[in-house]
Amino acid sequence: MFEKFANLLNEKLSGPMTKLANQRHLRAIRDGIVATLPLIIVGSFFLIIANPPLPAEWGISVFLKANAAKILLPYRMSMYIMTLYAVFGIGSSLAKSYDLDGMSGAILAEIAYLLTITPINVSADAKAGVAGFVIPMGKLGSAGMFVGIVTAIIAVEIYHFMDKKGIKIKMPDSVPYAVAKSFENLIPTAVVMLLIGAITYWIGFDWHTFMATLVTPLVSASDNLGSVILIVFLTTFFWCFGIHGASIVGSLARPVWLILLEQNTTALAAGTALPNIAPEPFYQWFIWIGGAGSTIGLAILMAFRSKSTYAKGLGKTALAPVLFNINEPIIFGAPIVLNPTLMIPFIVSPIINAILAYAATAMGLVNRVSVNAPWTLPAPIGAYLAAGGDWRAIVLSLVLIALSVVIYYPFFKMWDNSLLAEETNTAKEAE
């Protein structure tokens, strides 16, 4: 019965889900946002420096607090305006998927996005006698993420259409490539600028207000416990059938996660209460401990409690990678994929983790996450950093690891005993 169900899901889901994960626009969004992770990770650490997890009366704390405005400038020029960088990456990735020049696609995407923003006239230059304009930085951050995604796709699609139809200025072969490419891009650039500029400045369409109206319910809904459980279930469910759940679910959810995280970092920088519980670091450090499925518990059991030779050997080999949240050796080595015994705790363990971690965070027992720590850190260290230097996050992480051991244990015993029986029978047959 299970095999029929598994085969049915594999036949019906594997192909469509793989196509979805590799759909060029979703892949471009994923690649563009992932490309910003170094800026997000490094930039967010300046929040910890400006808000040190140290006693307020210490001299170093007083010094850092007094200079917080300057310390936060790298954060404000990186993570705070992350959409500006993400759009560049999305445009480059999408253009390359059409075999177009990635740099040209990135620049077109960037200008299209910037043309959705109306500069603010803040002052007049007394010497020149002209008005001074500034770009509101808030629209360059998470608030503009969905506008950036839409306009980047529009710009590159225009570029692709005009290239496909041959609507471009062609230069002789003797002209250097960079110069020829610049002239080829004159017409698509003009079309993009005139189209987006006309919509924004002449028609008066407010891209950001319109998009905010559409996505605000989505962002709000993504931060509740029901949404967290649904995301966890879908991710692990797909993995159970050999489909990269994190790739599929993450591609769709990551723009929203980044908005939630940026709202938290903005609040932290402003010294106000953090509004959101479940940005992406919440999943990384309190749910995906040891990788998808919270498999650190299974790895510990395999390494130290196995009776079968295969499970013990795999556990000792896989334990080190799992400590750094790399668990493909276990997922495909045990395997968990299409394994009815191990699939159950693989889905249940992270859901229980999610419920407990969400409750602990909502009750204020642990700080809300505000830092995107490198995902390859051991869980307690990553949790400590993600929660802004909260030692209670270490305790919660260790409790959740212990809980995953408990949840996996009965299923591990059944699986290990079946392996031991097979090994014993094989040894008897060989005698």
pLDDT at 131: 57
Supply 112's token pair. Answer: 């299209």
| Range from 157-161, 269-273, 326-330 that averages highest in pLDDT | 157-161
pLDDT digits (tens, 9 = 90+) for 279-307: 999 999 999 999 889 999 999 999 999 99
| Cβ contact 357:287 at 8 Å | yes
Distance CA 240, CA 292 (A): 10
pLDDT digits (tens, 9 = 90+) for 172-204: 776 677 777 778 889 999 999 999 999 999 999
pLDDT digits (tens, 9 = 90+) for 212-266: 888 778 777 888 999 999 999 988 988 887 777 777 787 778 888 988 998 999 8
pLDDT at 364: 93
pLDDT at 124: 55
Residue 86 has pLDDT above 60, yes or no: yes
SS3 letters for 300-349?
Answer: HHHHHHCCCHHHHHHHHHHHHHHHCCCCHHHHHHCCCCCCHHHHHHHHHH
Distance CA 252, CA 243 (A): 15
- Name the band, by pLDDT with cuts 50, 70 and 90, for residue 20: low
pLDDT at 98: 94
Residue 6 has pLDDT above 60, yes or no: no
User: What are the C-alpha distances in Å from 426 to residues 275, 302, 429?
Assistant: 58, 21, 5
Please state, rounded to an integer, the average pLDDT across all residues of the chain.
86
pLDDT digits (tens, 9 = 90+) for 408-422: 999 999 998 888 888
The letter for the amino acid at 366 is: V
Closest CA to 234 of 86, 21, 8, 2: 21
Cis peptide before 335 (omega within 30 of 0): yes
- Name the band, by pLDDT with cuts 50, 70 and 90, for residue 109: very high
Residue 95 has pLDDT above 70, yes or no: yes
Distance CA 23, CA 26 (A): 5
In the chain, what are the domain boundaries? Answer: 35-77, 82-214, 225-430
Task: Kindly state the percentage of the chain with pLDDT values over 70.
Answer: 91
